[in-house]
């Protein structure tokens, strides 16, 4: 049986409407992809850069408002120094290579996480692409770097506590919206769809608050092999679901 092409999936998506506003992706499988080819892990990370371009272009083409990619977690700082150095070098290379294209496509890049932990050269590269694309409005591209979902929640609680202690907010007035305003994602809609690649079945400390009602799509594809067709397949699957948010269907 012939598989459906990316163009055919895109046509189906456009016919059926209901495109998610925000798709988040846990990019997983670079290490296994490299191991299958008897190559070092950084080879897999480098190959994964192609998949990043694929999904960004696909997100623009299908009409997403927001695309979020989990690039580097706070837990990843525990990896060997050689791998961390390779990842930071790849981050700088990706920005240098893709910045012009992202800007030309109207993509606004946001870097979210504990960015103060980045090496100066990597931090400077991130700041450059964020500043250059700040006025674009076709797609918001959230790149989560040095990020932890639990740490983000703790940070938001601390900011609220500081505001309450300083008399800037009444503790009794704190609700979900005031809490969400202290998260890195303030101003972005919560993810409608979370995709995890490589067949793993974990959320890995990603967007713990924001994913309260996200639809989950677990793809067996290792990240370096992930294409816009795989993105479209996940979105088409999303379109076939009924989202009730705790309510009962009529």
Residue-wise pLDDT for 42-56, tens only, equals 888 999 999 999 999
Query: Is position 166 within any domain?
Result: no
Q: Is residue 159 part of a domain?
A: no
- What is the span of the domain harbouring residue 79? 18-147+190-239
Residues annotated as part of the active site: 28, 76
Q: Extract the tokens encoding 114.
A: 């504990």
pLDDT mean for each 10 residues of the chain (250 residues): 82 92 95 91 90 97 98 93 91 95 98 95 96 98 97 98 96 96 97 96 96 97 97 97 66
Backbone angles phi, psi at 110, to 5 degrees: -125, 135
Question: Is residue 182 in a domain?
Answer: no
| Residue 221 forms part of a structural domain | yes
pLDDT of residue 188: 96
Q: In total, how many domains does the chain have?
A: 1
CATH number, domain containing residue 202? 3.40.1180.10
Query: Is residue 246 one of the residues assigned to a domain?
Result: no
pTM, rounded to two decimals: 0.93
Q: Within a domain: residue 123?
A: yes
Q: Each residue of 141-183: pLDDT tens digit? A: 999 999 999 999 999 999 999 999 999 999 999 999 999 999 9
Greatest alpha-carbon span in the chain = 65
Kindly state whether residue 200 falls inside one of the protein's structural domains: yes
pLDDT of residue 1: 39
165: in domain:
no
């Amino acid at each position: 049986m012939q598989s459906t092409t990316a163009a055919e999936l895109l046509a189906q998506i456009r016919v059926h409407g209901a495109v998610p506003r925000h798709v988040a992706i846990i990019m997983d499988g670079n290490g296994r992809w490299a191991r299958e080819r008897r190559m070092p892990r950084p080879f897999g990370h480098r190959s994964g850069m192609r998949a990043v371009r694929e999904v960004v272009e696909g997100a623009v083409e299908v009409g997403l408002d927001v695309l979020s990619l989990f690039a580097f977690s706070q837990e990843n700082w525990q990896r060997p120094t050689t791998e961390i150095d390779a990842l930071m070098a790849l981050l700088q290379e990706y920005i240098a290579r893709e910045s012009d294209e992202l800007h030309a496509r109207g993509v606004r890049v946001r870097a979210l996480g504990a960015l103060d932990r980045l090496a100066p050269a990597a931090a400077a590269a991130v700041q450059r692409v964020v500043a250059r694309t700040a006025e674009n409005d076709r797609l918001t591209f959230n790149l989560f770097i040095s990020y932890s979902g639990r740490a983000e929640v703790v940070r938001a609680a601390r900011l609220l506590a500081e505001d309450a202690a300083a008399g800037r907010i009444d503790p009794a007035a704190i609700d979900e919206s005031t809490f969400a305003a202290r998260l890195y994602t303030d101003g972005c809609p919560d993810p409608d769809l979370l995709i995890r690649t490589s067949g793993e079945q974990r959320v890995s400390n990603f967007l713990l608050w924001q994913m309260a009602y996200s639809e989950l799509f677990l793809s067996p594809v290792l990240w370096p092999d992930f294409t816009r067709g795989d993105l479209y397949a996940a979105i088409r699957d999303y379109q076939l679901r009924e989202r009730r948010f705790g309510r009962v269907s009529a």
